[in-house]
Amino acid sequence: MTLRTVSPFVAALMLAMTFSSCTCSSSTPDVPPPAAGTAGSRREGFGKLTVKERQAPDVPRGAVTPDHVEARPAPTLPAALAAELPQDFPSDVPVYEGTKVAAVQEMPHEGHNVIFTLEGADPAKVFDFYKDDMKHSGWKNEQETQHKDGSFLSFKKDGMVTNVIIGRDPKSGQQVVSVMYYREKPLPFKEF
C-alpha cells in the first residue's frame, strides 16, 4: 500500500462538501420592533437603541424681594441670677476664703447653683479644701475627678446632693467655683 498525499485545497473542498449536505439550518432572528412607551428613543442601525436628551423647561427669571423684617432687641439675662448667697445654702457646705458670689441660678427640686469667683488660688488647693472639709462635715464623697483645667466633686448627705466644680470661665479666664445643691426626690416610677 502506498500513501498518497492530498493537496490541502482538495481536503478543504471535501470537508466543505460534507458540511454543506447537512440538513440543519440556522438563521439570524429579525430585530424586534421598538417597545411601547419609549417615547424619545429611536433605533439606529443594527438594533442599537439611542435616547434623545431631554431639555429643561423654560423657567421665568426674576428677582426675589424679601419681606421687611424688624430687628429684635438683644436677649436679656434671666432674673433668676442674683449676687448674694441664697438663704437655704447648706450651713455645712464650706465657702472657700476669698471667693465672691457672682451668680445664683435656681435648679429643680428646690436647688440652686451658686457660682463663686476667686483670684489667684491654686485649683489643687481648692479641690483638697472641699474634699477634706466636706468629709469632716459628714458628707459622703460619691464621685471625684481632678485635672489641671477643671475638677469635679459630688457629695451626698441626708437626701441632699452637692456638686462642686472648680475651673475657669472660658470667656473671662477668671477662676470659678460652682456649688450646686438640691434635695434628692424619689423617682416617679419604679426603678428597674
Summarised one tens digit per residue, pLDDT across range 12-52 is 666 666 655 555 555 666 766 666 555 555 555 566 666 67
C-alpha cell at 12: 478543504
Cβ-based neighbours of 4, under 8 Å, separated by 6 or more: none
For the chain, which residues make up each domain, given as ranges?
A: 100-183
Residue 77: what pLDDT?
A: 43
**Alpha-carbon distance values, 132 to 24, 89, 128 (Å):** 106, 19, 6
Whether the pLDDT of residue 128 is over 60: the answer is yes
Please give the Cα distance from 106 to 81 (Å, whole number): 8
100-183: which CATH architecture? 2-Layer Sandwich (3.30)
Report CA Rg, the chain: 45
**In which band, very low, low, confident or very high, does the pLDDT at 171 lie, cut at 50, 70 and 90?**
confident
Whether the pLDDT of residue 98 is over 80: the answer is yes
Top pLDDT among 8 and 128 is at 128
Mean pLDDT score of the chain, rounded to an integer?
A: 78
| Percentage of residues of the chain with pLDDT beyond 90 | 34
What is the dihedral angle through the alpha carbons of 127, 130, 136, 142, rounded to the nearest 10 degrees? -80
What is the dihedral angle through the alpha carbons of 166, 167, 171, 172, rounded to the nearest 10 degrees? 80
- The model carries a pTM of 0.55
